[in-house]
Structure 1
């Protein structure tokens, strides 16, 4: 399967913002692949930030 880079990038950026609003002219599988990766990265950043806050309080 070939990934459409533009669709993937649009999905990735939406995932980082945690907004699921797929544009009409995108390749669906590529968009969702990017969205899921962006969402996972956003969640990882939140977890890392929370750990750093806990360390500062200790």
Structure 2
């Protein structure tokens, strides 16, 4: 499968913003599979950053 970079990037950015893919479906004129692949990767990246932030916040407490 060939990934459409522009569609993937749009999905990735939506995933980073933690948008719900059912509420905010892929924009028109995007390649659907590429957009969803990017969305899932962006969402995963955002969740990892949240977990790291929570872990670091807990360490700062006395």
Task: Please confirm whether the aligned pair reaches a TM-score higher than 0.5, indicating the same fold.
Answer: yes
- Unaligned segments of structure 1, at least 5 residues: none
Q: CA deviation at 1:51?
A: 0.2
- Alignment of structure 1 residues 16-27 onto 2, 5 Å: 16-19=16-19, 20=21, 21=24, 22-27=26-31
Moved over 2 A (4+): none
Aligned length: 58
- Unaligned segments of structure 2, at least 5 residues: none
Q: Distance in 2 between matches of 1:7 and 1:43?
A: 21
TM-score, normalization by structure 1: 0.94
Tell me the alpha carbon deviations over residues 8-44 of structure 1, each in whole angstroms, 9 at most, x when there is no partner.
0000000000113210110000000000000000000
What is the root-mean-square deviation of aligned Cα atoms in Å?
0.8
Is 2:50 the partner of 1:55? no
TM-score, normalization by structure 2: 0.89
Is 2:32 the partner of 1:28? yes
